[in-house]
Structure 1
């Protein structure tokens, strides 16, 4: 379940160099010829689809990807490959395969080339080596850069975008010097490299914990033993601990994250934004992104019949502030309850819990990333958004906004493909997001391209750090500025001024 919540989805969009008048047929790649299928998508419109093109060899366990040896003849690229090995939604079994490094390519003729891959592999598994998921992603991006021209794409106009752990992965990719010159634009949705769950600060301890679970030593023979162990057993051993306690929030138990390895990530992410100086960047969050975590930590959040005790808000504030000590925890609690008054309503208390988790886990790190990108930018442009279309889950409270991952259904046009499940206003949201996203991929400016937009989305640094509030009623009042500035200032300045506490 947790890996699904932070699943890695990355998509690559490229702009066609030329519009083809007929199906591509067989296409040459560095590994050999590939043949996809042509699909009709409307009157005089069709799409070439290539599924399961290998961009690297079957990966060795806990090893970086290596080039694919290639194939003879023509590879029939007509079926999806298996996803990378991962826990199922209930975290009770393992699905997928170690043989999973494949790309899917969609080519709407005369339009945008879209390359998708889904990676949900373990991003760090030992103390001194790791980041294999990030290396896999980098290898896919490099393959696209080398080969996509043969599919009609422009290798100098690559856009990557992802959500949650995918959004953080996108941020890591543009920060890494390994991708220098490969990426032109990027979009991070509800996840950046600065999120508290994005970097594993104690990978040795976590690797040893997995090793003990599968019967491996924790000395110099640990990595060799893990490489020989049943991969399903290792994957299951990496399962996170679920918590429903305000004093032990789930965000502190997300350990499958990248590491500062001195290689792919040569230093702390906040010092690497100079590598993205010429990359156009969109980053944003959902207005209640933290709700999904809040309901695990304090289950009464979604139960209108059960009040949320003030003591749980205090306990959560202290727990999320543990890196800076008890005084910082008290300060966090006071910062978020300053407007409560003497008798806050239960809905105010519940919304405060969601605000705390949204800010700490997603919003403040994303705002920090936007400031850093804008400050270091040369030719790169910076855009900020807040997605606020209310959740469509009927059992959620009436005050509920956009939960984590609520934006994905609109970006990928779900209201159009399953129209009976949505209202017209939902199709408006999808139309707006698709227009902004595709314009950005085409030109680096979400306002300019083949699609019209309801209002001009200004750059982040213009006139007071502006952002676009995205929902079904976008108008000129949707352009706002200084997103939750008081809370961003608290976490980045006041909270950060408290002395750090070393964990035992």
Structure 2
């Protein structure tokens, strides 16, 4: 029940028509209507600002809340995505060097029941989705509401700054970094304060995310800035312990950007002033210089461990935060698919010149392909590359052992870190921790990656594939789900699982990760028939192998820039 105090603070009315309206403490918002997958009316409020535009002198600063508006806010259009390099999978034949805008801090809010439809004052559970895209690309609206809102939820997605504009850091107080994550926190604060006006319960907020969105969810579990802003969490195909989720040598990378746009200096203040004078498009394009080979690494510039301060999003090692039990202790689901790595080595899979070059230059290129070049002594690179080859390929070349090469990417990029994060949380928090592996490859015609890779190996579930069954995805790669009977059944099953978790914890008949320790306990999801989806316990063989390589992934000193910050006082 919503308290009388909240009702007096947040007034809400609904005009049930083509353009519904709600009233918040910031002003009136006018929306539109769309339909769910099975024909329910959804009230859509798209393009609602949650922060002031981070432009001009506000570029590279922590975002601040937006202010009230006069009149009625027209929230009937999808907002600008945050500025980014165009992803060829999403922007086919896109004519420009960059897409999106700096003025992009907006959210989209969807509900099937406004407060006037809830006369007893019982508000609906809220799902807030944080979009993925390697902290470099995409936008919240690509994960649409039409699947989820066949159920009684309020659903929110939003944009946050990415890449250079969201995560550039000079590793000092001049430009500490993590502004994209701080945007996310501000969005969560907005939801807490205003979601009751849309029929949402501010005391039942579940944050979700896939890939970089999943890692973002995990970051919020660790950050003191996010304490109390959510009540449950679902991290799909990404956690902070994945190697791509935590940027190493941030100052060095920032100086590459600065040098490229004519802002060379050792003085942080001068660098920042110069970068604010440059066109945003020029800064975004310059991030291409951080790529090493074949579009890798996937995390050119992203979240970092900040210098300690009151405003730091995270200033300690993630494992240390978990073990110290200072996390935001809420029920969590961690998950991954059974073929996470394939989409990240498409060039190696599909283009002969790349798989040939990797075969010939294995020792040189593998540290970049598997993202361990920044976390080990360079003198051991060749030895580590040899051990990895022996473990995954044996005496075979890449094309002879392609499924195992892809498995190396899957385990290194995703599986290992997700398993380790889930087990650590299970050990060190009071709230239950659950896990699943999504092993459903999709029926014929629905999963384009199956057809793309079928000449190499039998189809599996690629990176983040389960998202197709929760969200009405905005990707041109996937056909409409309503044309596929089995996929519709799969969607129902997956949303049933989520609804069980969101509406009741502990989840009836679900095994926890803790129940399997020291081994890995998870639900293996094979298809829409729940009887065939069973809990399994497995040894963490790959995780043990990688931990045995003694990479310096959790050494703060190794992750800090080798270039000391030099700057004037602000």
Measured against the shorter chain, the TM-score band is 0.7 to 0.9
Distance 2:321 2:220 in 1: 11
Q: Which of 279, 285, 292 is the matching residue for 2:330?
A: 279
Q: How does 1:233-382 map to 2 (within 5 A)?
A: 233-239=282-288, 241-242=290-291, 250-251=296-297, 254-261=299-306, 262=308, 263-273=312-322, 274-297=325-348, 299=350, 320=370, 321-322=372-373, 323-324=375-376, 325=380, 326-337=382-393, 349-378=401-430, 380-382=431-433
Aligned match of 2:245: 198
**SS of equivalent residue, structure 2 residue 240:** coil
Aligned match of 1:452: none
Distance 1:441 1:164 in 2: 20
Distance 1:44 1:232 in 2: 41
484 and 351 in structure 1: CA distance in 2 versus 1, 3 angstrom threshold = farther
Deviation at 1:372, TM superposition (A): 1.6
Aligned match of 1:16: none
Q: Which of 163, 168, 177 is the matching residue for 1:125?
A: 168
Q: Which moved more, 1:482-491 or 1:206-215?
A: 482-491
**SS of equivalent residue, structure 1 residue 154:** strand
**SS of equivalent residue, structure 2 residue 80:** coil
Deviation at 1:399, TM superposition (A): 2.1
Distance 2:547 2:208 in 1: 26
Q: Which moved more, 1:410-419 or 1:52-61?
A: 410-419
- Native 8 Å contact 2:358 2:365 kept in 1: no
Q: Which of 490, 495, 501 is the matching residue for 1:440?
A: 501
Q: How does 1:217-232 map to 2 (within 5 A)?
A: 217-220=264-267, 221-232=270-281
What is the CA deviation profile of residues 175-221 of structure 1, one whole-angstrom value per residue up to 9, with x for unaligned ones?
A: 10001111111111111111111111111111111111111123221
Deviation at 1:35, TM superposition (A): 2.1
What is the CA deviation profile of residues 134-185 of structure 1, one whole-angstrom value per residue up to 9, with x for unaligned ones?
A: 1111000011011112222111211111111111111112210001111111
Q: Does 1:29 align with 2:24?
A: yes
Deviation at 1:356, TM superposition (A): 0.7
Distance 2:366 2:537 in 1: 24
Q: Does 1:142 align with 2:162?
A: no
Aligned match of 1:114: 155
**SS of equivalent residue, structure 1 residue 126:** coil
Aligned match of 2:254: 207
Distance 2:26 2:232 in 1: 27
28 and 240 in structure 1: CA distance in 2 versus 1, 3 angstrom threshold = farther
Aligned match of 1:66: 64
Q: Which moved more, 1:265-274 or 1:348-357?
A: 265-274
* TM-score, normalised via structure 1 length: 0.82
What is the CA deviation profile of residues 28-51 of structure 1, one whole-angstrom value per residue up to 9, with x for unaligned ones?
A: 323222122344659994222111
Distance 1:330 1:41 in 2: 52
What is the CA deviation profile of residues 331-356 of structure 1, one whole-angstrom value per residue up to 9, with x for unaligned ones?
A: 3233324xx5x7x5976610111011
Q: Which of 88, 100, 104 is the matching residue for 1:100?
A: 104
Q: Which of 466, 486, 490 is the matching residue for 1:407?
A: 466
Distance 1:257 1:498 in 2: 16
43 and 135 in structure 1: CA distance in 2 versus 1, 3 angstrom threshold = closer
What is the CA deviation profile of residues 268-304 of structure 1, one whole-angstrom value per residue up to 9, with x for unaligned ones?
A: 122223343521111111211111223334656899x
Deviation at 1:312, TM superposition (A): 6.5
100 and 298 in structure 1: CA distance in 2 versus 1, 3 angstrom threshold = same
Q: Which of 81, 84, 99 is the matching residue for 2:82?
A: 84
- Native 8 Å contact 2:168 2:254 kept in 1: yes
Aligned match of 1:425: 486
Q: Which of 512, 534, 538 is the matching residue for 1:479?
A: 534
475 and 41 in structure 1: CA distance in 2 versus 1, 3 angstrom threshold = closer
What is the CA deviation profile of residues 48-94 of structure 1, one whole-angstrom value per residue up to 9, with x for unaligned ones?
A: 21111111111121111112121112212222211111111249611
Gaps of 5+ in 2: 1-12, 89-93, 119-151, 442-446, 563-570
- Native 8 Å contact 1:294 1:353 kept in 2: no
Distance 2:459 2:46 in 1: 38
**SS of equivalent residue, structure 1 residue 156:** strand
**SS of equivalent residue, structure 2 residue 489:** helix
Aligned match of 2:132: none
Distance 1:50 1:405 in 2: 26
Q: CA RMSD in A?
A: 3.5
Distance 2:553 2:199 in 1: 54
Distance 1:151 1:56 in 2: 19
Distance 1:43 1:287 in 2: 29
**SS of equivalent residue, structure 2 residue 255:** helix
125 and 478 in structure 1: CA distance in 2 versus 1, 3 angstrom threshold = same
* TM-score, normalised via structure 2 length: 0.73
Distance 1:95 1:498 in 2: 33
Aligned match of 1:181: 228
Distance 1:228 1:498 in 2: 36
What is the CA deviation profile of residues 221-264 of structure 1, one whole-angstrom value per residue up to 9, with x for unaligned ones?
A: 1011111211111111122555556xxx823x632111111311
Number of aligned residue pairs: 466
**SS of equivalent residue, structure 2 residue 41:** strand
Distance 1:235 1:44 in 2: 41
Aligned match of 1:57: 52
